[in-house]
Amino acid sequence: MNQKMEDDTQKADDHILVCLSAAPSNLKIIAAAAKMANALQARFTALYVQAGTKAEAMDKEKLEEHIRYAENLGAEIVMTHGENVPMQIAEYARLSHVTMIVIGQSNAGRNHFFSKSTLTEKLIKIVPDIDIHLIQDAEKNKTYSKRSVTGATEKPSAKDYFLTALIFAVCTLIGLLFQKLNFADINIVTIYIFGVLLTSIVTDGYLCSIAGSFLSVFLFCFFLTEPRMSFQTYAVGYPVTFLIMLISSVLTGTLAAKLKAHAKLSAQLAFRTQVLFDTDCLLQREKGETEILGVTCTQLIRLLNRSITAYIVKDGTLSEGKLFPGEKEDTEDFLTQEEQNVARWVYENRRRAGASTQHFPQAKCLYLAIRSGNNVYGVIGIPMQKEKQDSFEYSILLSVINECALAMENARNAIEKEKNAVLAKNEQLRADLLRAISHDLRTPLCSISGNADMLLNNSDRLDGVTKNQIYTDIYDDSVWLIGVVENLLSITRLNDGRLKFKFTDQLLDEVIAEALRHISRKHDDYKIVVDCEELVLACMDVRLIIQVLVNLIDNAIKYTPPGSVISIRAKKSGGKAQISVEDNGPGIPKEMKPHIFEMFYTGKTTVADSHRSLGLGLALCLSIIEAHDGTLILTDRDPHGCNFTFTLPLSEVTLNE
């Protein structure tokens, strides 16, 4: 059992990395790595290290094909850049906890002792603690050039040739001017080296800067050394000068071209990082899936400068598409029925389709699923132009869509969590209600049942006083039960929105008098004082306000000793009708006050007649008063006791003369 658990843990921690390239055999290497990942149930990543800014067109197409192939096999595509490719692979492997690297082994061996170590040999030396699986590269294809690995060489344009010729023509003119001014030859050499540096900056690639290095030596020898207009020289040291000048020019041009290439790659990486950072910040602010999709499309428009079509999944089906227009006007319709059918195919099959793919290549857009694991939250459509997306642009696109999928997953989880919290709260309320009913209704029901049984079986042997006491107990228990049922029905209707209000204008003194007639006979043991201003007219549902007063007065009777004074006051205050119920009992402890209006909260207070309250009375009172646009508050009475005060809207009095 322990061995099996260890094996499962090892599988869960496995991370397989395959290296991408434009080599024809790379498809075989990717397929082998994918089989390993499936067998081990490991995380699968495909890494491409870009060592230059551009590659030859044929190699670029091959690389794009391999990236798509790896993605279809379930690999996570990662792109990075750097001049030292083995070091970049090793750094990523260490940071991402890679356990196995799959890479191709070329058949080409070392031709002589001074040959450079191959990439695989360097990688084995750098990461000896990571398993490296070499897939033999048995294919030979002369059309594949090693130059594409670094992407350093590219054919210069006519503009590059013209700029190179112009720069060195100007350098030669400056050199002739310096000779007339009797400047030393070292100054003229410096001008040509500066020309090589300038050429590498204003042109693409290395070829122009290297050609400029040779051209600078040629021009210096032909125009600026004696005899002029020939390649002969009288000076003994000039051949050495030419050699040093050539080496310096080549090194200067090469280094400048590399710096420019890496500067461009760094700018791309910074742009990608900024886009992803902005996207993450914007997505964190949104809560709904529709808003998240809108932010994602806005970021993609910023990134690609194209219109975006988006589809979102609602109730298990893909909604109608929505177009997010870019800055440029698009004349094509990207929401036709054919385009929407492609988007639905992507949603159902969880695979990319549309333009530049094998599935529905005639479509106008490239469609990608917004998915996390096996869950698909929507589909993004990107109109494809004549030129294909490069690897850099596609990697950012996938990163943004993955951010969107993660945000939608978090939003959905938050909604589910909220629903579960509501269900849990409702379940807790139901459990509290059942618990309260089962415990608190048992006592009065048992009392009623026992007293009724005594009357049935022993009525002849009971005197009149005893019978009257039994009748009184049965009546009091029945009234208590009726009050509990009324509160339950009222608060249930309030919470469900089924309680209909009948607002009328009523005088407060009449409402208080009617409420006192509903108080149990036990109020005879208490002194109830009423102090009400005359002609205070308030708008209310009189039946519910009477229930509020009955609950407040009953609470005062239950939780204060006999002989206590209960004061009921009504007046106008602050443009509202204000009613308060005070008592001079022991009061309510401070720790109970924050919960006193919560449903089913009874605290630790005991009731004199052994009937526990269900904790619905005050919660019901608060709901009724709030439905009247009023407030219900609890304050302490000086020197001791409680004061419940609530307000009602005043009514205007119209006098008919």
Taking residues 539-546, what's their average pLDDT? 88
Cα–Cα distance between 510 and 506 in angstroms, integer?
Answer: 8
* Final residue in a domain of this structure, among 105, 123, 150: 150
The pLDDT tens digits of the residues spanning 235-267 come to 555 666 667 666 776 777 677 777 777 777 777
**How far does CA 52 lie from the centroid of its chain?**
34
Report in angstroms the alpha-carbon separations of 567 from 275, 380, 550, 573: 68, 69, 13, 18
Co-location of 508 and 553 in the same domain: yes
Q: How far is the C-alpha of 453 from the C-alpha of 200, rounded, in Å?
A: 111
Distance CA 519, CA 24 (A): 94
Higher pLDDT, 571 or 135: 571
Q: Tell me, what's the pLDDT at 6?
A: 47
pLDDT surpassing 60 at residue 224: yes
Q: Which residues contact 193 (CB under 8 A, 6 or more apart)?
A: 216, 245, 248, 249, 252
Are 238 and 313 members of one domain? no
Q: How far apart are CA 393 and CA 134, in angstroms?
A: 30
pLDDT, tens digit, 9 for 90 and up, residues 460-474: 888 888 888 888 888
| pLDDT class of 211 with cuts at 50, 70, 90 | confident
Q: Is the pLDDT of residue 37 over 60?
A: yes
Within 10 Å of residue 251's Cβ, how many Cβ atoms?
13
Each residue of 168-182: pLDDT tens digit?
888 888 888 888 888
Confidence band (pLDDT; 50, 70, 90) for 112? very low
* Closest to 346 in 3D by CA, of 385, 325, 307, 318: 318
Query: Are both 22 and 92 inside the same structural domain?
Result: yes
- Are residues 114 and 35 both part of a single domain? yes
Greatest mean pLDDT among 155-164, 612-621, 634-643 lies in 634-643
Mean residue pLDDT across the chain:
78
- The answer to whether position 7 is within a domain reads no
pLDDT score for 572: 92
Helices (H) and strands (E) in the chain, counts: 18, 18
- Domain holding 312, by residue range, is 286-415
For the segment 46-58, the average pLDDT, to the nearest whole number, is 65
Q: Are residues 550 and 634 located together in one domain of the fold?
A: yes
Nearest to 345 by CA among 337, 70, 73: 337
pTM to 2 decimal places: 0.49
Q: Pick the residue with more confidence: 522 or 109?
A: 522
Report the percent of the chain where pLDDT is more than 90. Answer: 10
Mean pLDDT check: name the lowest of 263-277, 352-366, 409-423, 466-480.
263-277
Summarize the confidence of residues 101-129 as an average pLDDT. Answer: 70
Same domain membership, residue 48 and residue 100: yes
Residue whose tokens read 């990395």: 17
pLDDT-based confidence at 26, cuts 50/70/90?
confident
Whether residues 516 and 640 share a domain: the answer is: yes
Query: Tell me, what's the pLDDT at 433?
Result: 61
Report the pLDDT value the prediction gives residue 616, as an integer from 0 to 100.
61
Percentage of the residues of the chain whose pLDDT score is greater than 70: 78
CATH code for the domain in which residue 611 is found: 3.30.565.10
Tokens read off for 568:
């009921």
465 belongs to a structural domain: no
Q: How confident is the model over 386-398, as pLDDT tens digits?
A: 556 666 677 778 8
Return the DSSP state at 650.
Answer: B
pLDDT of residue 83: 67
Choosing from 264, 298, 315, the residue where a domain stops is 264
pLDDT higher than 90, residue 570: yes
Residue 529 and residue 640 in one domain = yes
Question: Is 487 within the bounds of a domain?
Answer: no
Check which CATH number belongs to the domain holding 98 and give it: 3.40.50.620
What's the token pair of residue 284? 């964190």
List beta partners, residue 507.
537
Is residue 482 very low, low, confident or very high in pLDDT (cuts 50, 70, 90)? confident
* pLDDT of the residue at 9: 45
Q: Which residue has the tokens 């002589």?
A: 112
Q: 175 and 214, same structural domain?
A: yes
pLDDT, residue 150, reads: 39
Specify if 486 maps to a domain.
no
The per-residue DSSP string of 310-352 comes to EEEEETTEEPPPEEE--SS---S-S-SHHHHHHHHHHHHHTS-
Residues 6+ apart with CB under 8 A from 439: 612
Contact 323, 334 (CB under 8 A): yes
**What is the per-residue pLDDT across 282-304, written as a single tens digit (0 to 9) for each?**
888 888 888 898 888 888 888 78
Q: Which of 31-40, 370-379, 387-396 has the lowest mean pLDDT?
A: 387-396
- What is the count of structural domains for the chain? 4
pLDDT of 526 strictly over 90: no
How far from chain centre, in Å, is Cα 458? 75
What per-residue confidence (pLDDT) applies to 327? 64
pLDDT in tens, 299-335: 888 878 788 999 998 888 888 888 888 765 555 678 8
Radius of gyration from C-alpha coordinates of the chain: 44
- In this model, does residue 71 exceed pLDDT 50? yes
Alpha-carbon distance of 275 to 298, in angstroms, equals 11
The pLDDT of residue 63: 82
Residue 654 lies in a domain: no
Q: What DSSP state is assigned to residue 638?
A: S
Per the CB < 8 A criterion, the answer to whether 207 and 266 are in contact is no
Q: In this structure, is residue 301 part of a structural domain?
A: yes
Q: What is the model's pLDDT at position 557? A: 86
**Is 469 a member of any domain?**
no
Q: Are residues 326 and 398 in the same domain?
A: yes
| 447: pLDDT strictly greater than 60 | yes
What was the pLDDT predicted at 189? 76
In a domain, 57, yes or no: yes
- Predicted pLDDT of residue 416: 87
Residues 124 and 180 in one domain: no
Examine the domain organization and report whether 185 and 97 are in the same domain: no
Distance between CA atoms of residues 217 and 230, nearest Å: 13
Domain boundary among 351, 386, 415: 415
Distances (CA, A) of 558 to 192, 478, 551, 569, 585: 106, 16, 10, 20, 10
Q: Is the pLDDT of residue 566 over 60?
A: yes
